[in-house]
């Protein structure tokens, strides 16, 4: 049987879904894999998902409203603005060479390619951050070798051992060594395993 999902939250550009394993536990407004695909969502598992085509279209409409001689335009679509603010994705991951500052969307301002997905360095930092959290919280040293560990399975293990909300407090406290940019990449990999960089010969 194909997976079915409960909709935990939904906006114009975003949906939170949870896999339902037993049809008897499904709510009346459940959604199927086929229906998710029709909405443009191909990653069929629990978590946050974004309606990428809708976001791209809406962003391009904002960019089209930039007046001659100007570099940005105001994002008047409140749902779009909230999505861009709350998402762990930078604006350029949807429309290349864009940047959001407050309620304004800028185009063509990046002199070099902006990072849009986590790197191996980000993944390794996340592993070390998880190890440090477990050691400081529980006195347990996992002593995991980042270079020799399966990247997907390692994060899956940490997701069982660590509550993200508590981990986020640890990452963002005043004396933390982790920056806001670090947390963006950590959150992206934590919520979407498809963004975890796979092993490459250059790593």
pLDDT tens for each residue of 144-200:
877 788 999 999 999 999 999 999 888 887 556 787 788 889 999 999 988 999 876
The two tokens of residue 104 are: 């304004």
CA separation, residue 41 to residues 16, 21, 50, 54 (Å): 11, 19, 7, 11
- Count of C-beta atoms within a 10 Å radius of residue 56: 13
pLDDT tens for each residue of 76-135:
999 999 999 888 778 888 898 898 989 999 987 655 567 888 999 999 999 999 998 998
CA separation, residue 145 to residues 38, 118, 139 (Å): 41, 19, 18
Terminus-to-terminus CA distance in the chain, angstroms?
39
Residues 6 or more apart from 16 whose CB is under 8 A from it? Answer: 7, 8, 9, 10, 47, 48, 49
Between strands 31-32 and 47-50, the pairing is unpaired
* Calpha distance 34→67 (Å, rounded): 41
pLDDT tens for each residue of 18-58:
787 777 666 677 777 788 777 777 666 667 788 888 999 99
Q: Is the pLDDT of residue 202 over 60?
A: no
């Amino acid at each position: 049987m194909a997976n079915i999902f409960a909709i935990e939250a939904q906006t114009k550009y975003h949906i939170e879904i949870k896999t339902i394993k037993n049809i008897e536990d499904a709510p009346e407004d459940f959604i199927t894999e086929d229906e998710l695909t029709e909405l443009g969502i191909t990653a069929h598992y629990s978590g946050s998902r974004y309606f990428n085509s809708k976001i791209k279209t809406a962003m391009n409409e904002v960019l089209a409203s930039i007046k001659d001689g100007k570099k940005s335009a105001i994002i008047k679509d409140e749902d779009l603005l909230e999505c861009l603010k709350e998402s762990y994705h930078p604006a350029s991951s949807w429309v290349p060479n864009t940047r959001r500052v407050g309620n304004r969307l800028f185009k063509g301002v990046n002199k070099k390619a902006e990072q849009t997905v986590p790197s191996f360095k980000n993944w390794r930092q996340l592993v070390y951050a998880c190890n440090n959290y477990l050691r400081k919280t529980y006195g347990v040293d996992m002593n995991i070798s980042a270079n020799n560990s399966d990247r997907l399975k390692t994060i899956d293990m940490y997701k069982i051992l660590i509550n993200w909300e508590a981990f986020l407090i640890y990452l963002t406290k005043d004396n933390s060594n982790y920056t806001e940019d670090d947390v963006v990449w950590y959150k992206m990999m934590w919520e979407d395993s498809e963004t975890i960089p796979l092993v490459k010969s250059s790593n």
